[in-house]
Amino acid sequence: MALALTELTVSHFRSHKLARLSLDSRPVAIHGPNGAGKTNILEAVSLFSPGRGLRRASAAEMTRRPEALGWKLSGVLDARGKRHEIETWSEGGAARQIRIDGKLASQVDLGKLARIVWLIPSMDRLWIEGAEGRRRFLDRMALSFDPGHAEATLTYEKAMRERNRLLKDQVHDPHWYAALEDQMAEAGYRVHRARLNTLVHLRAAQEQAETAFPAADLDLVQADGPMPETPGELRDALAENRFRDMAAGRTLIGPHRSDLTGVYAAKGVPARDCSTGEQKALLISLILANARALSRLSGAPPILLLDEVAAHLDAGRRRALYDEICALGAQAWMTGTGPELFSDLGDRAQVFEVRETDGISEVVGG
């Protein structure tokens, strides 16, 4: 049973004053010139899942200017044969709120319904930039398998920030550290296990697939030796490392020091040393593996958001991508500058055009 948004209404969000889309479970192709507001639609869809969306923007940044009235997104999600009405909104720059079937809900509640993964142009440099971006990429995948992953990550990061403040202030009283290290140990262990479990799912999905995209050998490595294997071991390691951390002014062990490494399996070449095209193909391969794994585990692939993905593929790879998406039965939202980029999809997709006039975006077609 497909997971799909069948209705989407966007109000005062980014460049869109009001947009309404009626959909089915087929892929969604959105074309229009650069700056017209295509990615804004994908960002709106990304907010039907936990987190800050594909741009990681604050609620205030998403509101349409110059009105700055706040924004609201509403939609109908068909999930595993059940229909859910979802609303998410922000007023006056406040933290966004969520309502599911008329009742206020949490982001964890939302994550249990909507599994959404994405690939955007800023990820193209994933393998050659810092470890933080790779951790975030892996965490987004982990969240698709475990809706509680975001909560564990936030708990760990909050406790670590407070511990780092003590370290910078040269506080020596162990009682101040103990409670924070307890939180970090429990949440950090959950974060690390979720990441490792995600790699297991991705490896299995790649091994079992016949695909035109290259497989990646993935591993999770630590900057300062092996990650402690239990919450108790992590708690002890944090306590033992206090004086070293105090000298550095920050916490030097834990899941925030992890890094995702990738190797182009068929060539044995580290992803960071691959060509730009090969790096892009590896990323697409991982997104498709994520979708296949979720489909196998939950019975439905996630919603895919693929921003400007077609422009960076040759015609053969583009056809292969579309064929894999359709074979999965995934509702993939894809953007491109012209309709010709999606011609191979034919009537397998719903096609929309985004136009911009005087700073206001308009969605037509469908």
* 337 CB-side CA count, 13 A: 5
CB 116 within 8 A of CB 48: yes
Q: Is 261 annotated as a binding residue?
A: no
Q: How far apart are CA 91 and CA 67, in angstroms?
A: 12
Q: Phi/psi class of residue 261: alpha, beta or left (left: φ > 0; alpha: ψ in -120 to 50)?
A: beta
Q: Is 33 annotated as a binding residue?
A: yes
CB 71 within 8 A of CB 11: yes
Q: Is 70 annotated as a binding residue?
A: no
Q: Is 277 annotated as a binding residue?
A: no
199 sits in which H/E element: helix 174-207
Q: Which two tokens stand for residue 79?
A: 């999930």
Q: Is 36 annotated as a binding residue?
A: yes
Q: Is 241 annotated as a binding residue?
A: no
Which stretches does DSSP call E strand in the chain? 4-13, 16-22, 28-31, 71-79, 82-90, 97-100, 103-105, 116-119, 216-222, 258-264, 269-270, 303-306, 332-336, 350-357, 360-365
Neighbours of 173 (CB within 10 A): 8
- Concatenated DSSP letters of 110-135: HHHH--EEEE-GGGGGTTTS-HHHHH
CB 88 within 8 A of CB 276: no
Q: How far apart are CA 303 and CA 312, in angstroms?
A: 21
CB 281 within 8 A of CB 269: no
Question: Which residues does the annotation place in the binding site for ATP?
Answer: 32-39
Question: Which residues does the annotation place in the binding site?
Answer: 32-39
